[in-house]
Structure 1
Amino acid sequence: MYKLLLHTLVFSTIALSTVQVLSNQVTLAKKSSIQQIFSWASISRILFSKKPPVEPRKGGSRPTDAICMVSPDAPAKPRIVWSDRPLFVWKGRVQTIAVRPIDSEQDLWNQPVTETQNITYQGEPLQPSQTYKWVVNSLRFVPFKIMDTKERDRITAELQTLENQLQAQGADTEAIALAKAKYFADSNLWSDALQQAYSVPNPSDGLKEMIKNIGNLCDVPKSDGHNSATR
């Protein structure tokens, strides 16, 4: 009887361990399948391709005051942005960041900045279909436009569905941010794609490397002449 009980306990322990291992393997497999769909390296390759989709605007006559406004960037027309609290990314020595209506010199929001090359807008939500400009050091600006309400609502709903599906698969915060970044990149919404990248609190080495190199976009040659100072 004792031997039977001992064998039963041993078998139960092995069975439970096997179930736990299989469960962990399933979870890892799900996360792995999510990561295999796309990667930060994939986004990085697109960003730094021969003709990158992001077109930073440079300004400054001397190396000591040179500033490159990376995102929102400056193609021929103002970049459309989904987020009503966009992320601003730059390279160079910036003291103040501000947001104004395109036809006004009145700040809606401004912020001193030190020892950083990016900041998220923290004012009242920007309005759909309106064009704004983000201003550095009260001198240079880049215009951008918030997406119209109908399109924003459609994308918001699709992103929520995507997030729900990934959470059900056991995706972590970074995997969800990556999937959203891919969604935005596929839609040519590069400001929003980069905002997802910068939103991850504890980024992986691959994401850290991509973010570290974002400023190098300012050094990528352009052939269309959209990199001149705005003012």
Structure 2
Amino acid sequence: MVKTVVSNLSILALSLINFMGITQQLTIAEKKNPPNTSWFNISRLLFTKKPPVSPRKGGSRPTEIICMISPDAPKTTRKIWSDRPLFIWQGNVREVTVKPVNKNQVLWSEPVKDTQQIIYNGEPLKPGQSYKWEVNSNRFITFQIIDTQQRDRITTQLQTIEAQLQKQGANQEAIALAKANYFAEYQLWSDVLQQIYSVNTPSAELNNLRQQITQNLCKDQ
């Protein structure tokens, strides 16, 4: 009887040791192999026959042609989660300005040179409010920050996503991809694009995607 109990205890102990070893190996594997950083799904969504992003294009002479990519100009006003949006364009832009809709008050203005994008760095834009971003004081697009309730809910979910991925050892690009996929589900395309440009040291795949954005979305000019 005693021998049987000892034998059973020995088997249980060995099982626990093996289980702990397997768990440790899985944890190490997760750290070595962070979540996949493929941008294929995002590029597939962006470059369909009817892209979800609708740039505003215009200019009478080649030197004046500007393609305002994001925020873009769909049939309804583009809604954005970020209160510090990224402005993306193609063409000869000298200055970017943000104003409230129906007001001539300048909230933020920045001269630009040798770049095709810039992040708004003024006072945080207010949820539920509409704004317009102007280029060269003669072209503009209207956009709106989503309301407080929606924005807070999305912010909480994004924080959860980031925390979970950090525990798995995910790098900056993997986290940006997860957020981009999240925004794509809610068709917040300006925020999708902002995630694409948020990575400091992008992979070759992500660099290629950035190049395709201006080439593909502005190719009809």
CA deviation after TM superposition for structure 1 residue 24, in Å: 5.5
2:86–2:118 Cα contact (<8 Å) kept: yes
Distance in 1 (CA, whole Å) between partners of 2:30 and 2:78 is: 41
Q: Which one has more relative contact order, counting CA pairs under 8 Å at least 6 apart?
A: 1
> What is the 5 A alignment of 1:30-179?
31=34, 34-35=35-36, 39-179=38-178
Aligned counterparts of 2:198 and 2:36: Cα–Cα separation in 1? 17
Q: How many residues align?
A: 197
CA distance in 2, matches of 1:77, 1:59: 19
The structural deviation recorded for 1:184 is: 0.4
Structure 1: gaps of 5 or more residues: 1-19, 222-231
Specify the code of the residue in structure 2 equivalent to 1:27.
K
Which residue of structure 2 lines up, in the alignment, with residue 199 of structure 1? 198
Q: Distance in 2 between matches of 1:147 and 1:26?
A: 36
Are the counterparts in 1 of residues 80 and 145 from structure 2 also a CA contact under 8 Å? yes
Alpha-carbon distance in 2 for matches of 1:191, 1:173? 19
Question: Cα distance, 1:28 vs. partner?
Answer: 3.0
Residue equivalent to 1:28: 32
Q: In structure 2, what is the Cα distance between the partners aligned to 1:199 and 1:41?
A: 17
**2: distance between equivalents of 1:133 and 1:112?**
17
CA drift at 1:137:
0.2
Measured on the aligned residues, the alpha-carbon RMSD in Å equals 1.7
Q: Give the secondary structure class of the aligned counterpart of 1:176.
A: helix
Q: CA–CA distance in 2 between the matches of 1:80 and 1:104? A: 19
Name the stretch that deviates more: 212-221 or 82-91: 212-221
Aligned to 2:17: none
Which letter does structure 1 place at the counterpart of 2:218?
C
> 1:166, 1:24 → 2: CA distance?
14
* 1:218 matched to 2:213: no
Equivalent pair of 2:64/2:92 in contact (CA under 8 Å): yes
Structure 1 residue 64, shift from structure 2 partner = 1.3
Secondary structure at 1:219 match in 2: coil
Partners of 1:168 and 1:25 lie apart in 2 by 13
Separation of aligned partners in 1, 2:26 and 2:123: 48
Structure 2 gaps of 5+ residues are: 1-23
Q: Report the Cα distance in structure 1 between the residues aligned to 2:194 and 2:30, rounded to whole angstroms.
A: 30
Alignment-derived partner of residue 16 in structure 1: none
| Amino acid aligned to 1:218 | C
SS at match of 1:64: helix
Equivalent pairs: percent with the same residue?
Answer: 57
AA aligned to 1:96 is E
Q: Distance in 1 between matches of 2:27 and 2:102?
A: 58
Which residue of structure 2 aligns with residue 12 of structure 1?
none
Residues 168, 22 of structure 1: alpha-carbon distance in 2 compared, 3 angstrom cutoff: closer
TM-score for the superposition, normalised by structure 2: 0.85
CA distance in 2, matches of 1:127, 1:21: 47
Tell me by how many angstroms 1:106 deviates.
2.0
Shift of residue 22, structure 1, vs aligned partner: 7.9
Q: TM-score, normalised by structure 1?
A: 0.81
